[in-house]
Amino acid sequence: MDLLKLENTLFTIVMLLYFAAMILYFVFVAFKSEFALKLAEIIQTTGLVLHTAALVCRGIGAGRLPLTNQYEFATAFAWGLCLVSLIFVFRFKFPVLGAFASPVMFIIIGYAAMQSKEVKELMPALRSNWLGFHVSTAIIAYGAFGVSFVLGIIFLMRERMKSGAFLDQHIPSREKIDMISYRSVSLGLLFLSFTIITGAIWAERAWGSYWSWDPKETWSLVTWIVYAIYLHLRIRNGWKGRAAAIFAIAGFICVLFTYIGVNTFLPGVHSYA
Amino acid sequence: MQFAIALLVVLAIACSIGSFVTQGQSFNQYAAQYSERAAAFIIALGLDDAFHSWWFILINAFLCCNLLFCNVIRLPQILKRVKTDRDAGSVTEAAADISAPGVNDPNDFFEKMRHSKPAASVTSDEKDILYSPKNTAGSWGAWICHIGILLLILGFSLGQFLHQEYAVYGVPGDAKPIGDTGYVLQIDGFEVGLRDDDTVEQYTADITVYDVNHSDGGSSQSAEISVNNPAKLFGMKFYQNSTGWAARVSVTENGEPLQDKVLCAGEYLAVQDKPDLVIYFNAFYPDFYVEPGNAPVTLSGKLNNPGYLYSVYYQGNMLGMNVLMGSEPLTIDEYTVVFSEPQSYTVIQVKQDRFAWLAFIGGIVILAGLVLAFYVLPEKVWAVKETDWQWTVYGSCRKGGALFKERFEEAAEEFTRQRETEDQHGSAKT
Ligand code: HEM
C-alpha cells in the first residue's frame, strides 16, 4: 500500500470534514440548532483522528517525522489547533470555542493544501531528533496561541451581543472566557519556550551556534516577549477582559508573521522550512 | 514593573528592527537596497549590526538590572507569602474569593476540591478551622522564571564576549593550526554521502587534534564529526560546517615537474620560479554546463563532466579567465598547468564557548519557573465551624479567577445534591 497516496486521500477527507464542521458550527450559531452542534463536534473529532492518521501515514511513508517543510508544518499546525481547541472545548465545556476555531483551522489546512506535497529527502542539517522536539512543541504552542486568538474574538463578540438564553447557555461569562484565554496563552508561552530552547540546542549542533539572530529566531523571541508583556500587563495594569482579548489577537498576528511572514519576507537559515 | 513592561516593548521593537534590516551589509549595499540617506542612518545608528549595538546592549543591561532589582525586592515578599499561605492563623473571611455555607462534612468538601484533609486548628478569633493550602510552591514561579532569564542573558552575553571561534578547512591529509590555540587539526578523512537521487545525505569528517605544546611532544584526540554530530576534543567543540571543491594543481616547466599542490576553490598558487605569475582557482563544476550568454552551472554533484574555472594574474593584473575541462592543459609560456583529482574539502568550525551551559541552565530554569507559575496555582480551601454540625467552607486562588470559583461552586453543588439524596434516603428509611 502506498502510504503517501493514502495520506493524500486522508488529507482531502480531513479538509472536507473540517469544512463540514465549520458549516455545521455556523448552522448551530445562526439557527441555534443543538443537533448541528453535536454533529459538528463529532465531525471535528473524527477529523482530528483521521488527521492524526494522515500525519502518521506520511511519517511512515517518508521514513521520518512529517514536520520538515512548509506543507508538513502547515498541516501539523492545523492539527495542533484542532487538538488544543478540542481539549479546551471538553475541559472547559465550551463548544462555541470549536465553532470559532473551525474557520481558522480550515484556513490553515487550506494554506497547507496550497503547498507542495512532494516528499523530499532531508538536507543533513535537518536530520536531527531535536528538530522533532522543536517542531512538535511549536505545533502545540501555535495551537494554543490560535485558541487564545479565537477566544479574543469570542470575547469581543460577547461584549457586543445582547444577553439571551442561547448566549448564556453556550457562551461563558466574559470573566471565564478571559481566564480560559489566559490559560491558553500560558500553555502557548510554556511550549514556545520549549520550542525556542530545543531549537537553540538543535542550532548549536547543526550550525555551531545556539543563537545567531536569524530572522525566524528573532521573531520567535519577539513573539515570546509580546506574550510576556501580555502577562505583565494583566498583573500590573489589570489588563484583563477586553484589553487582554485585543492583545491575544495581536499576539497571534505576531505568531503568524513568525510562521509565514518571516519565510516570505526575510532571509535566513529557516527559509527552507 | 511599569518600567519593565516599557523595556520589554522597546526590546521587542529593537529585535524586529534588527530582523528587517539585513545585518552585516556595507554602506554601498544599503545604499543600493534603500537610499544613501537611509544607508547613512543605518550605519550611524549601528542598525547594520543591531544585536551587538550599544543601544541593544543597553536595553538588555537595563532589563537585567530591573529584573535583578525586582527579584531582590520580591524575595522577602514571596518568602512571607509562602509562610503565611501555610499558616491557618492568617486566613480571614475577607481573603476568600468564594464561600459555601451550611456544610456538614467539610472533609468531604476538601476531597471534592482535591485538597488533602487538613489538621484541626484555630483562627485568630478563636474559631475552629480546618485549613488546607495547596501548591504554595507555585508562588515561586515568576521569581524562578526571572532568575532563569537572568542566567540565560548572563550566559549568552559572556559567551558572546569571550567565546573563541576558528574555521579550518582542507582535504584529507592536511594538518593546520587552529588559530593561536597551540593545537593542530588534522583532517584524516572526509566523505560526502550521496543518496541515489544525488542529494546529500551527510558530510562526515574524521579528525585528529594534536596538542603541539604538550610536554611529551604532543598528545592527540580523534573523532568522527558530521552535521548535527559535533565532537568535543581538548575542551573545544568541532563542527562539520560546510564543504567546497578542491583539486590538485600541477605545474610543469618545459615538461619537467615543478610544483604540485591541492588547492581549494578560492585559493591561488604562485608559480615557484616566477612568483609574479599566479594561478587562481575560482570555482569547480563537477558536471559542467553552460548555456550561451549565461553563467556556468553544475547539473549535478557527480563528476560527470568536471570543469575548472581559473584566472591567471601576472604582477597583479589579470591576464585571463577561462574554464579547463577535465585534464585539459593550460600553457603559459614555458609553464603547463593541469588541474586533476577533484575532491571535496571540508570546513570545520572550532568553537569554545565556556558559558553555553549557563545559558542552557537558564533555559531550563525558565521552563521550571513557567510550569510553577502556570500549573502550580496556589489555592486555599478552609472550613470554619459555625455550629456543632455546620461549617462554612471558603476558597481562594489568586490566579484561578472564574475557573477556581466554578470548580468550587461545582463541588458545593455536588455536595448539596449528595446531601439531598442522603436526606431523602434517610427520611425514606425512617
Ligand atoms: C525587567 C524585566 C521583568 C520584570 C521587572 C518582571 C517583573 C515581574 C513581576 C513583578 C511579576 C509579578 C509576580 C507575581 O505576581 O508573582 C512578574 C510575573 C511574571 N513574569 Fe516577569 N518581569 C520581567 C520580565 C519577564 C520576562 C521577560 C518574562 C518572560 C516570560 C517574565 C515572565 C513572568 C511570568 C511567567 C510571570 C508570572 C505571570 C503569571 O503568573 O501570570 N517576566 N514579572
Q: How many CA atoms lie within 13 A of B135 on its CB side?
A: 22
What is the rounded CA–CA span in Å between residue B385 and residue A125? Answer: 66
pLDDT at A262: 79
Res. A168: pLDDT tops 80: no
- Chain A residues in contact with B351 (beta carbon < 8 A): 208-209
Q: Please judge whether B199 and A208 are an interchain contact, meaning their C-beta atoms are less than 8 angstroms apart.
A: no
Is the model's pLDDT at A273 over the cut of 60?
no
Low-confidence stretches of chain B (pLDDT < 70) are: 124, 214-218, 425-430
> Could you give the angle at the alpha carbon of A216 between the alpha carbons of A212 and A222, nearest 5°?
95
Query: Are the Cβ atoms of A124 and B228 closer than 8 angstroms?
Result: yes
Distance CA A198, CA A133 (A): 6
Q: Compute CA distances B42 → A178, A264, B27, B34, B48, whole Å.
A: 42, 23, 8, 10, 6
Question: With a CB-CB cutoff of 8 Å, which residues 54-83 of chain A face chain B?
Answer: none
The residue of chain A with its CA nearest to that of B148 is: A193
Query: Which pLDDT value is given to residue B258?
Result: 92
**Which residues lie with the beta carbon below 6 Å from any ligand 1 atom?**
A 228, 231-232, 235; B 1, 4, 7-8, 63, 66-67, 70, 142, 145-146, 149, 370, 373, 399
Q: How far apart are CA B107 and CA B130, in angstroms?
A: 9
CB pairs under 8 A between A and B: 123
Taking the CA atoms of A257, A260, A265 and A270 in sequence, report the sign of the dihedral they define: positive
Arithmetic mean of pLDDT, A98-112: 91
Domain ranges of chain B: 1-50, 86-135+377-429, 164-241, 245-348
**Nearest-neighbour CA in chain B from A15: distance (Å):** 32
The torsion of the CA quartet A154, A157, A158, A162, rounded to 10 degrees, works out to -150
Closest chain B C-alpha to A75 CA, distance in angstroms = 25
What pLDDT is attached to residue B427?
54
Best residue in B51, B225, B232, B403 to probe A by mutation, most A CBs within 10 Å? Answer: B403
* pTM across the whole model: 0.89
A229 touching B, CB under 8 A? yes
Q: What is the pLDDT of residue B214?
A: 66
Here the cell at position B90 is: 492568617
Burial A151-164 (b: 16+ CB within 10 A, else e): bbbbbbebeeeeee
Q: Which member of A178, A225, A236 has the closest CB to residue B1?
A: A236
Give the up-direction half-sphere exposure of residue B174: CA atoms within 13 A in the CB hemisphere: 20
pLDDT tens profile A25-75: 999 888 888 899 999 999 999 999 999 999 999 999 888 888 888 889 999
Q: So what's the pLDDT on residue B430?
A: 41
pLDDT value of residue B16: 93
- The confidence band for A170, taking pLDDT boundaries of 50, 70 and 90, is confident
Q: Do the Cβ atoms of A204 and B202 come within 8 Å?
A: no
Confidence band of A271 (pLDDT split at 50, 70, 90) = very low
Q: Report ipTM for this prediction.
A: 0.92
Output DSSP code: residue B48: G
Q: Can you give the pLDDT at residue B73? A: 95
For residue A63, with 0-12 CB atoms within 10 Å meaning exposed, 13-18 middle and 19 or more buried, which class applies? exposed
Q: How big is chain B, counted in residues?
A: 430
CA distance A128 to B146: 30
Select the more confidently predicted residue: A1 or B162.
B162
Read out DSSP for B272-314? SS-TTEEEEEEEEETBEE--TTS--EES-SS-SB-EEEEEEEE
